[in-house]
Chains A and B, each alone.
With several copies, the nearest count.
Chain A
């Protein structure tokens, strides 16, 4: 299982703040594509992805047990 955390507008779009995906291994780009098609989450071209609380790049690999956060453009401060 891979845990996916959602925030802000994405959380409201998905109707949940957390998804559990039954995946063993996937890279960041593929995960974004899957979220886009399976959960109807748009605007994923603008998001960053963090794996286990570290920003990750499109080719980075996510493995089961990882926690992935989908990070839309931040607006703190």
Chain B
């Protein structure tokens, strides 16, 4: 891998660039997930977001997710870029691209990637609401670490 398939970036993410990384003559299907900043969440208005990452470990964990996927779904290629810093409404926070000879694996592996990102990758989101701000993680989104631990160290 000469390209960097797993990145944390403080620049806007170009979807096409991430897709290019996973293109292959053996791939018949590429799925992408593009996570964007939504304005309204349960009746509350978001003004903007701030993402913070523990960068070297975040890249390591994204790489781990890629390896997990290639074990579970052979012949897939995976590329993930997550953005950090301030993001406005509609900005892209994360792009996941998965290529596979067949489409079923491309969908499943892609969804697996976003679930795992939300479990083990050290990135945090601060919501700047119309009237206040909060670091998310425990209260508003998922139960943290549903398996008790991030399930990394065996």
Chain A residues with CB under 8 Å of chain B are: 5, 7-9, 12, 43, 46, 48, 50, 53-57, 69, 71-77
Contacts and interface: CB of A to CB of B under 8 A. Distances in A.
Interface residues of B, number: 34
Interface of B: 35, 51-54, 56-58, 60, 82, 93-94, 114, 117-126, 135-138, 141, 144-145, 149-150, 152-153
Given A71-B54, A75-B136, A77-B118, A8 B152 contact: no
B122 A50 contact: yes
A7 B58 CA distance: 13
A77 B120 CA distance: 11
Contact of A73 (B57, B58, B145): B145
Contacts of A75: 118, 123-125, 135-137, 141
B56 A53 contact: yes
Nearest to A48: B150
Most B C-beta atoms less than 10 A away, residue of A48, A50, A69, A74: A74
